[in-house]
């Protein structure tokens, strides 16, 4: 067959058109795959497989077009069809229309990928993100307490923590946070699993035995990937020489991992936090109690930790680390439990500045002062400056880096926040607080699937993590308004948790907690009230439970019970606001107390004050809650136009924790304005998904 006859035969058999059609359809398949795989959070391997199979199918399609022919009698092999037999041909018009149609669809998908709202600057945290394990990486596992006095567990914990803190000063090392290592035994059965889960090449195991003024410390450095020992040492010392042991161990590890040390880092490894062993022992007791406090958020634990720190400082007034940690303990209590007075905050600031004056190159002092600016007054620029200085002094200080991420989120600087928190997660992979807060950010941005995914990761690490539970529950409820689906998620959470996040206030959900509010949205008011059975007797607990029950009774239409609870709560809240006039939660609670008491003007006054104190421009999280709270009050007292205006604004900004189109359709708080045409029109308008401009 000559060349002319060959090409004529290709044309006769429609091979050219099969090639063009296959190319266009193949392109369409690839574009569809590239669009739906990320949306469904499928593996990138799916896209790769589709592309490879499409490419491999091209020569197969051409071979079939050459070998087989479609005749009026059906499909026949080419060898059974005479060369002069007429074969059905695709008309130019139909074939052109086919190619153009497929091309338009494929081009549309391509344009969608190029022009859709990009979250490229918003890192998506996967449930598991395996990466190459760096050689210079280590996790210091919990030290075993071998002392006869089992209550000395705090002492073993403290030595582990100090070694870890020293290593965190070395920029050339990846050091896993104590929060993640605390999840493991002192001597895990399978170190290879630990290596994979923490992303480290090495682990340090240790044991401590304390007897009187003597202490024995056993440590061994292990290559966790191969489960092989590199070295082991035993230190028998007087308690007064304990600091030298910690420094020697840290230096030995740095040398073994061939970490490069700057002069400042070498000095940090060799420096003891105090020269007084008794002060150090008191400090370690404070650290142990502080960890319990931050886990349970019990005020008595915070107070006990503060007492231990204070005793350590009394023994050594220049104990900068103890001073800094006392500041952080006080500010944690202020943020998560109950506000300090202005006088108490002033004392805390003096302590933080004193710690820095004693040890200006000590990172934890700057973390403490930054925490004061952040938690005390939301002075974000000042807080960021202190956290950045702490990172400069101690490159692996994850507290400072995480705080930067949280502050940037409050400022609406989403990309920076996600990047910083994701970096923290790489060095603290078993810390439930990090994925919980990342999920909370996704929730604000109405990135529902991401919020659910990362929130579930958080509660897998800690089933009691309140922020993680909120994120999972609200990602279901606010995305679709499906009560059944959200209820199924709620049923998997610990039943004793009211899911109250003390650091967020401003809306009705913050008055009663997310568990109770879910039942309100489901219009099961009896279940909502039951959540507040057996509330505590402290002033904080009483304010919360009475305000929550008053609001629930009011929404349920039981005005007598609502007024009874409201009368009891009012005096408590009036006292609180005389003491702290800027307490957002108290202002919000009092708004609903006034609604229950039919004092609408007072309710509106309090809601407006909360919104003025913290607008979204000042705090991108709390600002959306205070605006929501104002709209809720306005809806209840007949200020429909103002309520709808605020809701329209909230739908146009990252406010997914409190407002979504699906949630507006079912939430009973909006019942008074539900049939208003302005509210109904609002439900059809587009809501912002993602970080916006």
CATH architecture of 137-270: 3-Layer(aba) Sandwich (3.40)
| pLDDT, tens digit, 9 for 90 and up, residues 551-587 | 999 999 999 999 999 999 999 999 999 988 989 999 9
Pairing of strands 174-175, 74-77: unpaired
pLDDT value at 77 more than 70: no
| pLDDT, tens digit, 9 for 90 and up, residues 442-453 | 999 999 999 999
The rounded mean pLDDT for the chain is 86
pLDDT value at 454 more than 70: yes
pLDDT value at 363 more than 50: yes
The counts of H helices and E strands in the chain are 33, 8
- 363: Cα within 13 Å, side-chain hemisphere: 22
Indicate the SS3 state at residue 361: coil
Q: Do 459 and 468 contact (CB within 8 A), yes or no? A: yes
Largest Cα span, the chain? 108
Angstrom CA distances, 602 to 18, 23, 246, 597, 626, stand at 76, 70, 60, 10, 16
Residue 193: other Cβ atoms inside 10 A: 12
Of all helices (H) and strands (E), which one includes residue 235? strand 228-238
Q: What is the mean pLDDT of residues 193-205?
A: 91
Of all helices (H) and strands (E), which one includes residue 138? strand 137-140
Nearest to 657 by CA among 463, 478, 426: 478
pLDDT band at 120 (very low <50, low <70, confident <90, very high): very low
Third-level CATH fold of 498-682 = 1.25.40
Pairing of strands 202-211, 144-145: parallel
pLDDT value at 127 more than 50: no
What do you get for the CA distance between the two ends of the chain, in Å?
A: 65
d(CA 368, CA 356): 9
| pLDDT, tens digit, 9 for 90 and up, residues 132-159 | 889 999 999 999 988 877 777 888 888 8
d(CA 200, CA 195): 5
Indicate the SS3 state at residue 144: strand
- 398: Cα within 13 Å, side-chain hemisphere: 23
Indicate the SS3 state at residue 68: strand
Long-range pairs for 667-674: beta carbons < 8 A, 24 or more residues apart: 667/521, 668/520, 668/521, 668/523, 668/555, 669/508, 669/520, 669/555, 669/632, 669/635, 669/636, 670/632, 670/635, 672/635, 672/636, 672/638, 672/640, 673/635, 673/640, 673/643, 673/644
pLDDT value at 119 more than 50: no
Q: Backbone phi, then psi, for 210, in 5-degree steps? A: -110, 130
| pLDDT, tens digit, 9 for 90 and up, residues 35-52 | 565 544 454 556 667 667
pLDDT at 129 (0 to 100):
47
d(CA 517, CA 383): 33
What is the 3-class SS of 646-677, one letter each residue? HHHHHHCCCCCCCCCHHHHHHCHHHHHHCCCH
pLDDT at 69 (0 to 100):
62
pLDDT at 383 (0 to 100):
98
**Residues whose CB falls within 8 Å of the CB of residue 190, separated by 6 or more in sequence, listed in order:** 227
Q: Do 651 and 687 contact (CB within 8 A), yes or no? A: yes
Q: Backbone phi, then psi, for 143, in 5-degree steps? A: -80, 140
pLDDT band at 128 (very low <50, low <70, confident <90, very high): very low
d(CA 649, CA 531): 32
Q: Do domains 137-270 and 278-431 have the same CATH topology?
A: no
Q: Do 35 and 114 contact (CB within 8 A), yes or no? A: no
Q: What is the mean pLDDT of residues 616-625?
A: 94
Q: Do 133 and 203 contact (CB within 8 A), yes or no? A: no
pLDDT value at 32 more than 70: no
Q: Backbone phi, then psi, for 298, in 5-degree steps? A: -85, 125
pLDDT band at 179 (very low <50, low <70, confident <90, very high): confident
d(CA 243, CA 641): 66
pLDDT value at 331 more than 80: yes
Top-confidence residue, 693 or 214: 214
pLDDT value at 284 more than 70: yes
pLDDT value at 218 more than 80: yes
pLDDT value at 15 more than 80: no
pLDDT at 83 (0 to 100):
57
| pLDDT, tens digit, 9 for 90 and up, residues 632-668 | 999 999 999 999 999 999 999 999 999 999 999 999 9
pLDDT at 106 (0 to 100):
55
Q: Give the CATH number of domain 278-431.
A: 1.25.40.10
pLDDT band at 4 (very low <50, low <70, confident <90, very high): low
Q: Where are the alpha helices (DSSP H) in 580-639?
A: 584-596, 600-613, 622-637
Angstrom CA distances, 544 to 291, 315, 432, 535, 614, stand at 25, 40, 26, 9, 21
Distance, CA of 61 to chain centre: 49
d(CA 470, CA 436): 9
Top-confidence residue, 395 or 509: 509
Share above pLDDT 70 across residues of the chain, in percent, rounded to a whole number = 83
Q: What is the mean pLDDT of residues 117-126?
A: 48
Q: Where are the alpha helices (DSSP H) in 209-257?
A: 242-256
DSSP 223: E
- Residue ranges of domains in the chain: 3-115, 137-270, 278-431, 445-497, 498-682
């Amino acid at each position: 067959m000559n060349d002319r006859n060959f090409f004529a035969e290709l044309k006769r058999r429609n091979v050219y058109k099969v090639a063009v059609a296959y190319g266009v359809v193949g392109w369409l398949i690839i574009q569809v795959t590239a669009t739906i795989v990320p949306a469904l959070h499928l593996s990138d391997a799916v896209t790769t497989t589709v592309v490879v199979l499409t490419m491999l199918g091209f020569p197969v399609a051409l071979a079939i077009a050459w070998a087989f022919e479609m005749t009026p009698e059906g499909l026949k092999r080419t060898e059974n069809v005479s060369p002069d037999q007429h074969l059905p041909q695709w008309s130019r018009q139909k074939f052109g229309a086919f190619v153009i149609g497929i091309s338009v669809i494929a081009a549309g998908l391509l344009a969608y990928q190029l022009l859709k709202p990009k979250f490229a600057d918003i890192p998506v945290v996967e449930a598991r993100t395996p990466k190459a394990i760096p050689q210079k990486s280590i996790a210091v596992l919990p030290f075993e307490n071998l002392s006869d006095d089992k209550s000395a567990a705090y002492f073993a914990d403290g030595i582990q923590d100090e070694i870890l803190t020293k290593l965190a000063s070395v920029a050339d090392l990846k050091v896993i946070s104590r929060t993640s290592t605390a999840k493991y035994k002192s001597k895990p059965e399978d170190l290879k699993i630990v290596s994979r889960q923490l992303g480290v090449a090495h682990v340090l195991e240790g044991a401590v035995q304390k007897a009187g003024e003597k202490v024995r410390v056993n440590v061994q450095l292990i290559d966790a990937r191969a489960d092989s020992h590199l070295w082991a040492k035993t230190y028998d010392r007087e308690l007064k020489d304990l600091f030298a042991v910690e420094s020697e161990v840290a230096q030995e590890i740095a040398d073994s991992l061939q970490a490069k040390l700057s002069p400042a880092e070498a000095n940090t490894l060799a420096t003891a936090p105090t020269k007084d062993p008794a002060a150090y022992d008191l400090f370690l007791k404070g650290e142990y109690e502080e960890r319990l406090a931050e886990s349970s958020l019990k005020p008595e634990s915070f107070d006990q930790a503060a007492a231990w720190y204070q005793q350590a400082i009394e023994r050594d007034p220049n104990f900068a680390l103890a001073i800094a940690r006392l500041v952080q303990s006080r500010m944690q209590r202020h943020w998560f439990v109950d506000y300090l007075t202005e006088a108490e905050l002033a004392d805390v600031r003096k302590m933080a500045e004193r710690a820095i004056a004693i040890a200006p190159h000590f990172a934890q002092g700057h973390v403490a002062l930054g925490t004061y600016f952040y938690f005390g007054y939301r002075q974000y620029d000042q807080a960021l400056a202190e956290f950045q200085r702490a990172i400069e002094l101690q490159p692996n200080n994850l507290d400072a880096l995480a705080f930067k991420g949280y502050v940037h989120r409050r400022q609406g600087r989403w990309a920076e926040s996600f990047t910083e928190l994701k970096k923290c997660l790489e060095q603290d992979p078993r810390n439930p607080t990090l994925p919980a807060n990342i999920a909370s950010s996704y929730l604000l941005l109405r990135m529902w699937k991401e919020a659910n995914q990362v929130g579930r990761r958080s509660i897998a690490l800690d089933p009691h993590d309140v922020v993680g539970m909120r994120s999972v529950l609200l990602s279901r409820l606010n995305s679709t308004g499906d009560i059944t689906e959200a209820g199924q998620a709620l049923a998997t959470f610990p039943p004793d948790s009211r899911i109250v996040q003390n650091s967020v206030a401003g809306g009705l959900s913050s008055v009663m907690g997310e568990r109770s509010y879910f039942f309100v949205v489901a219009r099961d008011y009896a279940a909502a009230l039951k959540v507040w059975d057996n509330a505590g007797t402290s002033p904080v607990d009483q304010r919360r439970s009475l305000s929550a029950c008053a609001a629930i009774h009011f929404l349920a239409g039981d005005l007598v019970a609502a007024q009874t609870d409201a009368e009891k709560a009012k005096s408590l809240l009036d006292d609180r606001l005389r003491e702290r006039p800027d307490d957002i939660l108290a202002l919000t609670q009092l708004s609903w107390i006034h609604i229950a008491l039919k004092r609408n003007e007072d309710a509106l006054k309090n809601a407006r004050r909360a919104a003025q104190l913290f607008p979204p421009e000042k705090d991108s999280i709390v600002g959306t809650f205070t605006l929501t709270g104002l709209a809720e009050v306005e809806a209840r007292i007949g200020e429909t136009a103002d309520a709808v205006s605020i809701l329209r604004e909230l739908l146009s900004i990252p406010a997914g924790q409190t407002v979504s189109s699906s949630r507006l359709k079912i939430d009973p708080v909006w019942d008074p304005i539900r049939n208003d045409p302005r509210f109904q029109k609002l439900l059809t308008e587009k809501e912002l998904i993602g970080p916006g401009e």
